[in-house]
């Protein structure tokens, strides 16, 4: 590829998107591109994001272009089209890369139609191509169920979404190519301009030294907790503390299984009904027995504490209810050789069955979840080799290979 510039346009930084910006940006920088990142940064409270962006700027000479707060309602979001066009006119990049394809669908609808002939090539990542799966049983308000059924629930709507991605996306967004981490979608609906890109679960290759004193304190405190429970199995919960990730379910399991301790690292998700109603009593019960260790912390681009967490657990439980998408924690667990328990629906169930890296249980069936848990208690070591082979497809080197294979075609 010739030396040129690339604009990474990501107004909404959340979830895995900082890591996508980092890994993709570093790959372009290593390949001789001048990289410019336009993003709405959340501020110093987002430690991982700030450290990653600082490293991109200092080590890889990435130019950071601060954006104003991205509008949230559909009408106002359309204002991002002229902002992107103005950036492209001013910077004249060879490529514009959009890490959040789903978030930009409405924002950039019609961008292709209004782009000048001299517009750069554009690429985007689409993480949520999930309408190929049968709908999950979805509890909650009737309004939420209607919204869910509109996008996922009926075969006709699922076919319409497929048609949107397969055909209209190229003219509406003016894309040269797209990426998705959903291999199932590509297998079912192959397209010569839609490429597979492995899921990015953490900042692979980050060299930033993140508050060594703070990380050391976390490690020391956790080490003392483990010493107090040398013979108890660790039930590890990693991520936002919320019902949709089965936080309450794993607390309940720890309360019932007296040979365990409950360990979690993440952040509270305020407003979650299950968190408010069920979780406090479960946490108190475990605390009275000294069997709970919780660290409320943002994700950190430093693996020392994560190493302790994942290495202390024989496996990781991810029985997310009514969930069709991937989970960064699954890939994180795999990188440590840990098998998982997931529900039998959507992309997580598909990955676990295809690669035999753990067990599936029926969503909402607690008896089946307990069966899977107790089976993995006995059999976890037999999965290690397969899990490590699976994780080799999600390293930074693997991500780089897929980026190179796609961009070498254009």
Look at residue 287 and tell me whether its pLDDT is greater than 50: yes
More confident residue, 189 or 260: 260
Average pLDDT (215-228) is 94
Strands (E), 15-68: 34-39, 63-66
Confidence of residue 348 (pLDDT cuts 50, 70, 90): very high
For helices 247-256 and 279-288, give the axis angle rounded to 10 degrees: 30
Percent pLDDT > 90 in the chain is: 48
If asked whether residues 168 and 84 sit together in one domain, one would say yes
Residues 12 and 157 grouped into a single domain = yes
Instruction: Report the C-alpha gap between 26 and 22 in whole angstroms.
Output: 6
- Between 108 and 96, the more confident residue is 96
What is the distance between the terminal CA atoms of the chain, rounded to a whole angstrom? 9
Higher pLDDT, 23 or 168: 23
SS3 77: helix
Contact 291, 260 (CB under 8 A): yes
Residue 353 has pLDDT above 70, yes or no: yes
- Indicate the pLDDT class of residue 45, thresholds 50, 70 and 90: very low
- My answer on whether 276 and 346 are in the same domain is yes
Paired tokens of 108: 């950039």
In degrees and rounded to multiples of 5, residue 277 shows phi and psi of: -85, -50
The verdict on 321 and 356 lying in the same domain is yes
> What are the helix and strand counts (H, E) for the chain?
20, 13
HEC assignment per residue over 33-57: CEEEEEECCCCCCCHHHHHHHHHHH
Residue 125 CA to residue 127 CA, distance in Å, equals: 6
Residue 328 has pLDDT above 60, yes or no: yes
By mean pLDDT, which of 20-34, 140-154, 207-221, 243-257 is the weakest? Answer: 140-154
Report the C-alpha gap between 129 and 102 in whole angstroms.
9
Give the tens place of pLDDT for each residue, 370-383.
Answer: 999 999 999 999 99
Is residue 224 located within the same domain as residue 168? no
89's tokens? 């006119």
Contact present, 5 and 35 (Cβ < 8 Å): yes
Task: Give the range with max mean pLDDT: 51-55, 151-155, 268-272.
Answer: 51-55
| In the predicted structure, residue 46 carries a pLDDT above the cut 80 | no
Say whether both 243 and 194 belong to one domain: no
The average pLDDT across 188-204 equals 80
Higher pLDDT, 105 or 47: 105
Sheet with 340-343, strands from edge to edge, namely 316-318, 340-343, 358-361
Helix axes 212-228, 304-312, angle to 10 degrees: 20
Q: Is the pLDDT of residue 11 over 80?
A: yes
Report how far residue 189's alpha carbon sits from residue 210's, in angstroms, rounded to the nearest whole number: 42
**Residue 256 sits in the same domain as residue 158:** no
Looking at the fold, whether 367 and 268 belong to one and the same domain comes out as yes
385 lies in the same domain as 403: no
Mean pLDDT of all residues in the chain?
A: 83
- CB neighbourhood size of 66 (10 A): 9
Tokens 């249980």, residue located? 361
Using the 8-state DSSP alphabet, how is residue 164 labeled? I
Predicted TM-score (pTM) of the model is: 0.86
- Domain holding 37, by residue range, is 5-204+395-407
Tally Cβ neighbours within 10 Å of residue 191.
16
Task: Band the pLDDT of 44: cuts 50, 70, 90.
Answer: very low
Pull the structure tokens for residue 38.
């336009």
C-alpha distances (whole Å) from 89 to each of 4, 96, 185, 275, 354 are 15, 11, 34, 48, 46
> CB neighbours of 383 closer than 8 A, spacing ≥ 6?
315, 339, 356, 357, 358
Question: What is the predicted pLDDT for the residue at 101?
Answer: 83
Query: Do 146 and 274 belong to one domain?
Result: no
User: For 165-192, how does the pLDDT look when each residue is reduced to its tens digit (9 = 90+)?
Assistant: 666 677 777 889 999 999 998 888 888 8
Q: Where are the beta strands (DSSP E) in 2-61?
A: 5-10, 34-39
**pLDDT reported for residue 128:** 78
Q: Is the pLDDT of residue 156 over 70?
A: no
The reply to whether 82 and 222 lie within a common domain is no
Number of domains in the chain: 2
- pLDDT band of 278, cuts 50, 70, 90: confident
Q: What is the pLDDT of residue 144?
A: 45
Claim to verify: residue 187 and residue 149 sit in the same structural domain? yes
What percent of the chain is predicted at pLDDT more than 70?
A: 79
pLDDT band, residue 241 (cuts 50/70/90) = confident
For residue 131, the 8-state DSSP code is T
We report the CATH number of the domain holding residue 384 as: 3.40.50.2000
Q: Is the pLDDT of residue 148 over 60?
A: no
């Amino acid at each position: 590829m010739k030396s040129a510039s690339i604009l990474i346009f990501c107004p909404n930084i959340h979830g895995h998107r900082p890591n996508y910006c980092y890994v993709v940006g570093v790959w372009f920088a290593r390949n001789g591109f001048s990289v410019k990142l336009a993003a709405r940064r959340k501020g110093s409270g987002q430690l991982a994001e700030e450290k990653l962006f600082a490293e991109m700027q200092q080590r890889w000479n990435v130019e950071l272009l601060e954006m104003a707060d991205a509008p949230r309602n559909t009408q106002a979001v359309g204002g991002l089209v002229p902002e992107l066009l103005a950036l492209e006119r001013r910077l004249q990049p060879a490529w514009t890369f959009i890490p959040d394809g789903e978030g930009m669908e409405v924002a950039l609808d019609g961008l292709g139609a209004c782009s000048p002939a001299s517009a750069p090539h554009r690429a985007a990542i689409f993480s949520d191509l999930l309408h190929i799966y049968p709908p999950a049983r979805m509890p909650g308000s009737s309004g939420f169920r209607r919204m869910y059924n509109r996008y996922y629930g009926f075969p006709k709507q699922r076919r319409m979404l497929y048609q949107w991605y397969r055909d209209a996306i190229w003219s509406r967004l003016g894309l040269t190519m797209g990426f998705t981490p959903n291999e199932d979608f590509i297998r079912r609906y192959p397209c010569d301009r839609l490429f597979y890109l492995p899921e990015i679960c953490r900042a692979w290759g980050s060299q930033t030294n993140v508050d060594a004193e703070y990380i050391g304190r976390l490690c020391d405190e956790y080490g003392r907790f483990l010493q107090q429970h040398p013979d108890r199995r660790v039930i590890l919960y990693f991520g936002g503390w919320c019902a949709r990730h089965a936080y309450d379910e794993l607390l309940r399991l720890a309360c019932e299984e007296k040979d365990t301790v409950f360990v979690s690292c993440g952040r509270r998700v305020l407003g979650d009904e299950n968190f408010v109603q069920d979780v406090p009593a479960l946490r108190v019960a475990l605390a009275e027995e000294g069997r709970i260790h919780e660290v409320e912390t943002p994700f950190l681009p430093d693996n020392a504490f994560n190493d302790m967490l994942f290495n202390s657990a024989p496996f990781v439980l991810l029985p997310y209810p009514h969930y069709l998408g991937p989970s960064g924690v699954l890939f994180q667990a795999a990188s440590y050789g840990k098998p998982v328990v997931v529900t039998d629906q959507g992309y997580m169930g598909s990955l676990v069955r295809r690669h035999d890296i753990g067990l599936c249980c029926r969503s909402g069936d607690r008896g089946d979840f307990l069966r899977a848990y107790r089976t993995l208690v006995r059999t976890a070591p037999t999965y290690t080799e397969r899990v490590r082979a699976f994780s080799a497809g999600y390293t930074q080197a693997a991500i780089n290979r897929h980026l190179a294979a796609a961009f070498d075609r254009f």
